[in-house]
């Protein structure tokens, strides 16, 4: 069983930055597929970013490309989401997700992840 704990959310003005962290339990963290998703009120959970295939490549949803960066520190069992140039439409609950094996495809589908954190609220004011 893998436990995930997000932190770093908050209220920020448009144009500002936040860094989300996701601390994971487990001794084989480096082999986990890791991703970030978000869910805004009244909307379905959507893919934001993930490590894909071998775990060194990354993918982002189009709306965050060039603004968000996913990274990981395997020594700390932690994955990060650096969010810059935030927009009001980025407002959502952000979730960290993990799978205990590499995802070679389907990394943007929430159903392909086995473990989820409790979420952290990000609110961007205009």
Instruction: Write down the pLDDT at residue 104.
Output: 86
Using the predicted structure, report yes or no on whether residue 90 has a pLDDT greater than 90: yes
10 Å Cβ neighbour count for 105? 9
Q: Mean pLDDT throughout 57-86?
A: 96
Overall average pLDDT of the 81-107 stretch: 94
The three state secondary structure string of the chain is CCCEEEECCEEEECCCCEEEEEEECCCCHHHCEEEEEEECCCCCCEEEEEEECCCCEEEECHHHCCCEEEEEEHHHCEEEEEECCCCHHHCEEEEEEEECCCCCCCCCCHHHCCEECCCEEEEEEC
pLDDT at 41 exceeding the cut of 80: yes
């Amino acid at each position: 069983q893998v436990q995930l704990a997000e932190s770093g959310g908050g209220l920020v003005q448009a144009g500002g930055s936040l860094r989300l962290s996701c601390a994971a339990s487990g001794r084989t963290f480096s082999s986990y597929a890791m991703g970030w998703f978000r869910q805004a009120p009244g909307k379905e959970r959507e893919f934001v970013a993930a490590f894909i295939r071998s775990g060194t490549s990354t993918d982002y949803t189009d709306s965050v490309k060039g603004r968000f960066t996913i990274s990981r520190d395997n020594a700390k069992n932690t994955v990060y989401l650096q969010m810059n140039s935030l927009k009001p439409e980025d407002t959502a609950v952000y979730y960290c997700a993990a799978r205990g094996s590499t995802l070679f495809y389907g990394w943007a589908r929430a159903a392909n992840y086995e473990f989820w954190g409790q979420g952290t609220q990000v609110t961007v004011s205009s």
